[in-house]
Amino acid sequence: MSANFFRSVKRKIVRKVFQSDRFKRYLETSFIGQYFVRRQALKSFDLMAGFVYSQILLCCVKLDILNLLKDGPKDIDRVFNFLNLDKAKFDCLFMGASAIGLIEKDEGDLIDLTVQGHIFANDKGLLALILHHEMFYRDLMEPVSFLKEKDKETSLNRYWGYVERRGVPSDTELEQKTENAKRYSELMAISQPLVTDQIFSAYDFTKHTSVLDVGGGKASFSIRLAKLIPGIKVANLDLPEVCKEAKKNVSKADLVDAVKIIPGNFFEDEIPSGYDLVTLIRVLYDHSEENVIKLLQLIRKSLPNNGKLLIAEPMANDNLPGMSCDAYFWFYLALMGKGRPRSSRELIAILRDCGFSKARCLKTTLPIQTGIVLAEA
């Protein structure tokens, strides 16, 4: 009998059970039932309160509490004076941040970070992402109107200058194209180690002599690769306004001869050939199916026989539906433009359709952050 059969029987039972007051009473009073009820109640509460949790986290970052406590516990009075809030508001933030597990107070009135607090406090990329989430939260203030209205303008759509713009861009926005590119490229560069650490532990780049990073932003990945493997030929392709920043970065790293900067539009210009590995890091999920196929076909054309393509980005989960990161990326990417998270299985199927002979998934230690698919031309 198929898995589908068992799933539909299970659903039928669950439906019947939860429509029965008698069974609900039994669950609430029986030993095992109580455990289940408590777990489900907490989960229901988490779902209702998720937005509040993110706002508390945002306050902790904006008010610099995590940074204050990073190097050791501080007396509660010192934290109170540092925050300069009235007592009731201080209690509210303090109790909220303790409740969601960012800080804790010991018996001696010292406040310290928890493990979770340290994880955020010591990761510049995560902190930058949390701050930029203010836009995301703003866009989610009216989620139903976003879902129902066609082409609703959003802050995220305006922020990511390279995605198809909704509404009419103002003159100032057009003038600020370079400034805008600078802002998003900085966010990408600062959060890139979250992804590149995973890539470097999953894949051995010493097999390659030349690597082209397509949509490489400020060239952070290319610089890291050139430093790691001296002599390797590396190039970074991105939009002209982003390449200005990449050029500055490469000169700062003293790698002008090792890292080539290629300004261009990867949908309109040819992808340069002569590289035995092309990388696409956090690029495809920003784009529609149609554009993903177009880009993959262009890359396929640029690669020599046996040339490789490595795709790394947060990927949708095939096996664990219900993962919260999937919910995050579905909404984030829809608010931003026409992209969506894709599972490795979906990407592998698209790669085959685009003429790649082989494609497989590489194991990463944090698939929630980075999935990797490696394909061969």
Ligand X SMILES: C[S@@+](CC[C@H](N)C(=O)[O-])C[C@H]1O[C@@H](n2cnc3c(N)ncnc32)[C@H](O)[C@@H]1O
| Interface ranges with ligand X (CB under 6 A) | 162, 185, 188, 192, 195, 215-217, 238-239, 242, 265-267, 281-283, 286
- Minimum distance of ligand X from residue 65's CB (angstroms): 28
Nearer to ligand X, 162 or 275 (CB): 162
Q: Where are the beta strands (DSSP E) in 239-335?
A: 259-263, 277-281, 308-313
The first and second tokens of residue 13, run together, are 């039972």
Nearer to ligand X, 281 or 310 (CB): 281
Nearer to ligand X, 113 or 282 (CB): 282
For 246, phi then psi, to 5°, come to -60, -40
The first and second tokens of residue 376, run together, are 């061969």
Closest by CA position to 359, among listed 269, 289, 314, 296? 296
Round to whole Å and give the CA distance between 129 and 138: 15
- Minimum distance of ligand X from residue 9's CB (angstroms): 43
Closest by CA position to 313, among listed 348, 289, 282? 282
Nearer to ligand X, 192 or 249 (CB): 192
The first and second tokens of residue 220, run together, are 């952070």
Nearer to ligand X, 283 or 375 (CB): 283
- Minimum distance of ligand X from residue 91's CB (angstroms): 40
Nearer to ligand X, 156 or 242 (CB): 242
- Minimum distance of ligand X from residue 231's CB (angstroms): 23
- Minimum distance of ligand X from residue 18's CB (angstroms): 42
DSSP 281: E
Round to whole Å and give the CA distance between 355 and 293: 10
Query: Minimal CB distance to ligand X: which residue?
Result: 215
- Minimum distance of ligand X from residue 136's CB (angstroms): 14
Q: Where are the beta strands (DSSP E) in the chain?
A: 74-75, 103-105, 110-113, 210-214, 233-238, 259-263, 277-281, 308-313, 358-362, 371-376
Nearer to ligand X, 85 or 325 (CB): 325
- Minimum distance of ligand X from residue 370's CB (angstroms): 10
* Enclosing H/E stretch for 222: helix 220-228
User: At 281, which amino acid appears?
Assistant: I
Round to whole Å and give the CA distance between 80 and 64: 12
The first and second tokens of residue 227, run together, are 């430093």
